[in-house]
Amino acid sequence: MSHALDALFRPASVAIIGASSDPTRIGGRPVAFSKRAFRGAIVPINPKGGEIQGLPAYASIAAATTFPGVAAAIDHIADVQVRNRGTIGGSIAHADPGADFPAIALAFEGSAVLRGPGGERVVPLDGFFEGPFQTAIRPDEILVAVRRGPVPDGANFAYMKLPQPASGYAIVGVAAVIGTSNGTISHAAIGVTGLHEHPFRAEDVEKALIGSDGSDAAIEAAAAHVDDDVEPSSDIHADGERSVLRTA
Ligand SMILES: Cc1cc2nc3c(=O)[nH]c(=O)nc-3n(C[C@H](O)[C@H](O)[C@H](O)COP(=O)(O)OP(=O)(O)OC[C@H]3O[C@@H](n4cnc5c(N)ncnc54)[C@H](O)[C@@H]3O)c2cc1C
């Protein structure tokens, strides 16, 4: 986490750990991009928010987004075939504990637009993920759009992950949207994946960052709060305690 936050204060705000990924090449050989047209639309819903309708494939979002760093973050999800076919709606609805896109969407204070027989409801993603592969989607609902919350002018985004070497899933991944004002952090929204049984917002880290100067010491102190409200999962890669250290 401290690496992701630290990266926000460097000139290039894109920060990804992992194998470099040129989406047009596999094993050094060029591959054709999917010809699938952009099936969704990114629609502004207020001056600073937006709604991704139609829940397109990752590659479509990477092609359409203009927010610095987001396309590069998506380019490090899985491989070119998965990015061409897998959708962001599928990723959010599936709620894999190590999925990347939920952390990114949480950092943008996203919401899920759910539609069922009774109409539409909007559920903030902070609270939407309820457990491993469990969400707030009711059996008679589908996810029809994902909204992002307002992002302050000048805010930066970074996503860093420790990828599982075979699949690319995040063993841990941290996404951060950080805004500053007069030399102090005025906005912090942080999504974490891989550490807990579901992706989550690291609210205590956010609280510790807001008002700080964003120095290494401040980031380190804030990152120590990452497991305040969650139960770090033990898995084949590490026990819970080591997972916390890796995330911080
Ligand atoms: C080889 C491989 C590597 C991968 N690596 C990564 C990785 O590095 N990082 C990562 O994050 N993910 C990774 N994935 C997972 C991939 O991102 C997801 O499989 C994909 O995003 C799911 O999207 P989909 O459209 O295929 O969904 P589907 O597989 O079609 O659906 C997934 C689940 O969500 C439900 N669902 C889908 N859409 C909706 C909807 N609109 N409303 C309600 N429910 C819905 C489906 O019923 C299903 O239960 C990998 C997958 C593969 C195969």
Per-residue pLDDT reduced to its tens digit, 51-91? 777 788 899 888 888 888 899 999 889 999 999 999 999 99
Q: Which of 63-77, 190-204, 228-242 has the highest mean pLDDT?
A: 190-204
CA of 180 to the centre of ligand 1 (A): 34
Closest CA to 144 of 118, 111, 193: 111
The pLDDT mean for the chain works out to 80
Find out whether 192 and 174 touch, Cβ atoms under 8 Å.
yes
Q: Is 115 strand, coil or helix?
A: strand
Task: Give the model's pLDDT for residue 219.
Answer: 92
159 CB under 6 A from ligand 1?
Answer: no
Q: Check if 232 has its Cβ closer than 6 Å to any atom of ligand 1.
A: no
What is the structure's pLDDT at 242?
59
Distance of CA 29 from the midpoint of ligand 1 (Å): 26
Give residue 142 CA to ligand 1 midpoint distance, Å.
14
pLDDT band at 38 (very low <50, low <70, confident <90, very high): very low
Closest Cα to atom 28 of ligand 1? 90
Tell me: the pLDDT tens digits for 111-156?
999 999 999 999 999 999 999 999 999 999 999 999 988 888 889 9
Residue 176 to residues 14, 17, 28, 57, 144, Cα–Cα distance (Å): 11, 14, 31, 22, 25
Does residue 162's CB lie within 6 angstroms of at least one atom of ligand 1? no
Q: What is the pLDDT of residue 124?
A: 97
The one-letter amino acid at 190: I
CA of 95 to the centre of ligand 1 (A): 9
pLDDT at 245: 60
Contact 107, 157 (CB under 8 A): yes
Q: Cα–Cα distances in Å, from 109 out to 113, 145, 200, 210, 245?
A: 13, 14, 11, 16, 25
| Residue 142 Cβ < 6 Å to ligand 1 | yes
What dotted CATH number matches 156-247?
Answer: 3.30.390.50
**Quick check: CB of 181 below 6 Å from ligand 1?**
no
Structural contact between residues 151 and 48, judged by C-beta atoms closer than 8 angstroms: yes
Task: Give the per-residue pLDDT at 77.
Answer: 92
pLDDT, position 62: 87
Greater confidence (62 vs 32) lies with 62
Residue whose CA is at the smallest distance from ligand 1 atom 50? 78
Section 216-243 average pLDDT: 81
| 225 contact partners, CB below 8 Å, separation of at least 6 | 202, 204, 205, 207, 208
User: What's this model's pTM, rounded to 2 decimal places?
Assistant: 0.83
Q: Characterize the bridge pairing of strands 129-131 and 134-135.
A: antiparallel
The pLDDT value given to residue 212: 96
Q: Which residue, by CA, sits nearest to atom 1 of ligand 1?
A: 167
Q: How far is the CA of 86 from the centre of ligand 1 (A)?
A: 6
For the chain, percent of residues with pLDDT exceeding 90: 54
101 close to ligand 1 (CB < 6 Angstrom) = yes
